[in-house]
């Protein structure tokens, strides 16, 4: 089955699970009522809104915002409003509200603080929103690599991931940063897509970069080996060096020579050296 068709089926099943199956399921947090029934009870409106928010946050995909907006409309819940940072303290704002912040109004240093906070807390929805804001500013004056890295790794769509990698490469070139990391990311996706021609192009580029970026060739080898595309390298057998020839012992001992072995019992005494 083609990849695009699989994605469409997954999205269709997810939509049904959220809008149909979940809304008809009785929940203990709603006093045993289903979300669909709780929508008609004023005393359950706040718990219902909280449950929807928790599910949205656990989903962690900002691209599903339209789905949860439709869910709120179906349950007759108010839609979340944007948050003006001039009327709130972003650093003190709960992480579940970060995606609603008007991030374009916040200075970049504060945006990075929000990104680090979201990453340390494992708040993927907040981290995604802030990372997208960071790369949207498209400036070589700050380190956007962590934001690109997070977005690429969390992007399920290979085409979107390749687009992000292309943007990351342009940013790195403008900032005078190495591009090897992004070339390796491209190679990883081309391997996953079983795109032999693109894999070959990436390997040629890696070969050209290996002098300027030490370690990139080894990283590519490990990736190819982990993917089953290469056999493990066989260790080279080395011949042991020949033993040094025995040095003949002298009958005369001099101060510059180590003493020889003691004479056997009954043997001749060694000749004593005299100046």
| pLDDT score, position 250 | 47
Return the bridge partners of 159, or none: none
Q: How far apart are CA 45 and CA 35, in angstroms?
A: 10
E strand or H helix at 109: helix 108-121
| pLDDT score, position 274 | 41
Tokens of 36: 């669909």
SS (H, E, C) 115-178: HHHHHHHCCHHHHHHHHHHHHHCCCCCCCCHHHHHHHHHHCCCHHHHHHHHHHHHHHHHHHCCC
pLDDT in tens, the chain (275 residues): 666 777 788 888 888 999 999 999 999 999 999 999 999 999 999 999 999 988 887 776 666 788 899 999 999 999 989 999 999 999 999 998 999 999 999 999 999 999 999 999 988 889 999 999 999 998 999 999 999 999 999 998 899 999 999 999 999 999 999 999 999 999 999 999 999 999 999 999 999 998 889 899 999 999 999 888 877 664 443 444 555 555 555 444 445 545 555 544 444 444 443 44
| pLDDT score, position 33 | 96
Name the residue with tokens 């928010």: 53
Q: How far apart are CA 113 and CA 111, in angstroms?
A: 5
| pLDDT score, position 268 | 47
């Amino acid at each position: 089955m083609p990849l695009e068709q699989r994605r469409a089926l997954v999205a269709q099943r997810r939509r049904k699970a959220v809008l149909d199956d979940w809304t008809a399921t009785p929940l203990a947090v709603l006093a045993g009522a289903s979300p669909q029934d709780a929508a008609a009870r004023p005393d359950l409106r706040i718990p219902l809104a909280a449950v929807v928010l928790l599910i949205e946050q656990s989903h962690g995909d900002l691209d599903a915002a339209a789905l949860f907006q439709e869910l709120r409309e179906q349950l007759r819940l108010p839609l979340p409003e944007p948050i003006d940072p001039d009327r709130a303290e972003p650093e003190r704002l709960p992480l579940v509200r970060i995606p609603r912040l008007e991030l374009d109004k916040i200075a970049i240093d504060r945006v990075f603080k929000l990104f680090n906070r979201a990453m340390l807390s494992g708040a993927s929805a907040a981290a995604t929103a802030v990372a997208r804001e960071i790369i949207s500013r498209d400036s070589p004056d700050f380190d956007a690599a962590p934001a690109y890295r997070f977005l690429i790794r969390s992007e399920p769509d290979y085409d979107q991931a390749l687009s992000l990698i292309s943007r990351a490469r342009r940013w790195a070139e403008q900032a005078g940063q190495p591009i090897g990391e992004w070339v390796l990311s491209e190679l990883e996706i081309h391997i996953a897509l079983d795109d032999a021609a693109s894999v070959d192009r990436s390997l040629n580029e890696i070969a050209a970069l290996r002098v300027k970026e030490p370690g990139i060739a080894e990283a590519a080898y490990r990736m190819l080996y982990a993917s089953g595309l290469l056999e493990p390298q066989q260790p080279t057998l080395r011949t042991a060096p020949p033993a040094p020839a025995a040095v003949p012992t002298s009958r005369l001992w001099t101060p510059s020579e180590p003493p020889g072995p003691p004479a056997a019992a009954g043997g001749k005494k060694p000749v004593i050296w005299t100046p």
